[in-house]
Amino acid sequence: MKVLFVHHGEVIGGAPVSLLNMILELKKNPDISMKVLCVKETMKDFFQEKANIDVGDIHYPCNILGKVIIGWGNLFNRQTFLMALMEITRIRSSIKIQCKQLKKENPDIIHLNSSILFTTAIAARRLHIPIVWHVREILQGGRFNFRRIFAGWLIKRFADKVIAISPSEANSLGKDTYHNIEVVYNFVDFSKFDSSLYDPLKEKSKLGIKADERLIIGLGGVSWRKGTLELIEAMEFTQINVRLIIAGSDMPRAYPISIVRELRVFMEDLLVKSGLKKFRRCEYNYRVLNALNKLKKNKVVFTGPLDDVRYLIATCDLLTSTHTFPHSSRPIFEAWAMKKPVIAFKMPGIIENIDNGIDGVLVKNTTGEALGEAINVIINNSMLLKKMGKDGYKKSYKRFRSEVNILKVLNIYKELTHHT
């Protein structure tokens, strides 16, 4: 059985890491051959190096349009609107080119690793190749909920099987009218995420963290969706012995003071406070730097891009997942696998995993102050942190273990190809 994976992204995040873990588990099955087609060159190197798997290119010039359709792109942004219009003119030629590429590969199954790969799905359907569509994003409605309804219908209509990584993703697709949606959780290899392989005191020393300091980590770099600003603002309200490490990107570059920039920030703050706008997005890096400047030196450390965050998770006292946008966060169950507690904003995709006060803490208000106060309640309570970590481990082992979830994927493949 030949499985052809298609991946659209260009950064190393939850989607490619989850796909990598799936590939590594599938490689244990001698009856399956695999190849990954990537839109971006950097991801070819990632999969080839980490999984030692065949890789190739896929023609996909419709990333912006795909994001608009699933509600992750702002259609009322002029630049996004114009780029989406331009991509619409390329749809026909894109499908034609992809048909040739997929026909040449001749797979038994096409496995799409993102919700936005619409033209690839159309091309595969024209060639009568079974499609597994992996939905890793919670579809957003847009105005009048039209985009979510349309995207959900399109995915269910073209896919032979839809894999949702949690009930939230499945529910965002709408009613399962085609009876082809199955929840398969992202999974973790417990043999690799093993805290006993690391010495926290030694790792803290390497990071410049004192033994008596409490370490909090945030993964994913600087992003408004991941609540980096709120996380940094929370440090203003935490106790003096708390340090924060942000992994995934470098500290934002310095910006010159600008009246226009300050005015834009001020106006957006007014819109957010009045409820006319949900998120603080404009001049985001500038906002992050302003928040950092209010803190003591070295209260927050940026690691830059990292391929492996296991040593950070093993060393931390608490992992944060401060998404301000509905999302199923992979680091949560990676932290649990290493018996570490988590704290997160109360968001769809998060609340179905964390039992508040049992294996983590859910913060209702998505503000730095609320997050900082919640951190203070638990950060110096070693017994509570340890208990939460252990309870998280039990849940993670039962729900997110690779051996359990890879069987679900294999059964889907067998069902679609009628292999016994």
- Go through 267-295 and write b for each residue having 16 or more CB atoms within 10 A of its CB, e for each that does not: ebeeeeeeeeeebbebbbbbbbbbbbeee
Do 34 and 14 lie in one domain? The reply is yes
Q: The tokens 């199923």 sit on which residue?
A: 328
Do 158 and 204 lie in one domain? The reply is no
Q: Under DSSP, is residue 250 helix (H, G, I), strand (E, B) or coil?
A: coil
Do 395 and 407 lie in one domain? The reply is no
- The span from the CA of 120 to the CA of 207, in Å, is 44
- The span from the CA of 414 to the CA of 396, in Å, is 26
Task: Count the domains in the chain.
Answer: 2
Q: Which two tokens stand for residue 270?
A: 């007014």
Q: Which pLDDT tens digit goes with each residue over 62-96?
A: 665 566 565 555 656 666 667 667 777 778 888 89
Q: Which pLDDT tens digit goes with each residue over 362-399?
A: 999 999 999 999 999 999 999 999 999 999 999 999 99
pLDDT of residue 276: 63
Do 309 and 181 lie in one domain? The reply is no
**Which residues form the domain of 237?**
195-399
Do 361 and 390 lie in one domain? The reply is yes
Do 117 and 145 lie in one domain? The reply is yes
Closest among 341, 371, 365 to 353, alpha carbons compared: 341
Point out the residues of the chain with pLDDT beneath 50: 420
Do 373 and 324 lie in one domain? The reply is yes
Q: DSSP letter at 283?
A: T
**CATH (domain of 132):** 3.40.50.2000
- The span from the CA of 410 to the CA of 26, in Å, is 8
Do 221 and 257 lie in one domain? The reply is yes
Do 298 and 412 lie in one domain? The reply is no
Do 260 and 239 lie in one domain? The reply is yes
- Using an 8 Å Cβ cutoff, are 18 and 51 in contact? no
pTM of the model: 0.84
Task: Look at the alpha carbons of 365, 366, 372, 374 in this order and tell me if their dihedral is positive or negative.
Answer: positive
Q: Which pLDDT tens digit goes with each residue over 51-71?
A: 999 999 888 766 655 665 655
Do 80 and 204 lie in one domain? The reply is no
Q: Which pLDDT tens digit goes with each residue over 349-362?
A: 899 899 999 999 99
